[in-house]
Structure formats: structure tokens, C-alpha cells
Amino acid sequence: MRNWEELIDPESESREKFFAYLLRKTSTRKQAQEYLRRMKLPESLMNEAEDAGLIDDSAYAKLFAEGHTSWGNAKISYELSMRGVSRENIRLALDEIADETERAREISEGLRESGIDDRKIAARLMSRGFTNRAVNEALRK
């Protein structure tokens, strides 16, 4: 009689673990590779996951940028680059969202309505990664 350990296919178990991770958390190629290394799973699973469409840095970048419109382009770019997204994919993602100055203007208008003075608004926008140009344009009356 065979024990249960002999019946379990380690490759199948690795695939299930990796795919479950990717389905649970949208990841960049870099993040997925780090997960494989950390969990000591075979690197060969990357190609299979990419072929299945579970890893797509371009789509990840677009979704990330769309979800962080209260941030300036500099902060979005930095965060995406830290996640291993290429400059080209970052540029394409930023092209898809509203102009940085428009986003800064919308935020500043909301903060002005709350009674916050322009100095504090400028500081808040700068801390969120908006450029000086975008902040100055947004605060023009």
C-alpha cells in the first residue's frame, strides 16, 4: 500500500500554489519571480503563467495608474519601477490617465473647499508626487 506523499505530484502542487497566488494578487513579473524564489518553486512556471495571461506588466501598470489618480506622475512612476515595470510600460500607463495638472487641480479644488490654505495644499500635492509645474498650475486662481 502506498502512502499519500507518493501520490502527490510536487510539480502539480507547485503550479497550483503559484497560480493561486497570481489569482489572489495581481503581480508584476518581478513580484512573481520573487514569490517563486521565496517559496522555492520552479522558475519554469513563469512562462506558463505568462502564456495563461496571469502576468502582464503593461496591464498591471495601467490598472495601477488608474487606481492612483490622487498621486502625481513621479510617485506613480517610482512605485511602478520599484515593482519592476519597464519605463515604456510606465509611460504608456501614464498616457492613459488624466493629465497630471488636471488631477492636481481637482484635488486642490476639493481641499480649498475644505478651507485648507494654498501653502498646505501645495505641500500635500508635492508629497503625493506632483511636479512643481502641476502644483503651480493647479493653484492658479
Q: What is the SS3 string spanning the chain? A: CCCHHHHCCHHHHHHHHHHHHHHHCCCCHHHHHHHHHHHCCCCCHHHHHHHCCCCCHHHHHHHHHHHCCCCCHHHHHHHHHHCCCCHHHHHHHHHHCCCHHHHHHHHHHHHHHCCCCHHHHHHHHHHCCCCHHHHHHHHCC
- Residue 83: is its pLDDT beyond 70? yes
- pLDDT tens by residue, 29-82: 999 999 999 999 999 999 999 999 999 999 999 999 999 999 999 999 999 999
Q: Per residue in 101-132, pLDDT tens?
A: 999 999 999 999 999 999 999 999 999 999 99
For 3-28, write each residue's pLDDT tens digit: 544 444 556 788 899 999 999 999 99
What per-residue confidence (pLDDT) applies to 15?
A: 87
User: What pTM, to 2 d.p., does this model score?
Assistant: 0.84
Which residue ranges make up each domain of the chain? 12-55, 56-97, 100-139
Q: Is the pLDDT of residue 1 over 80?
A: no
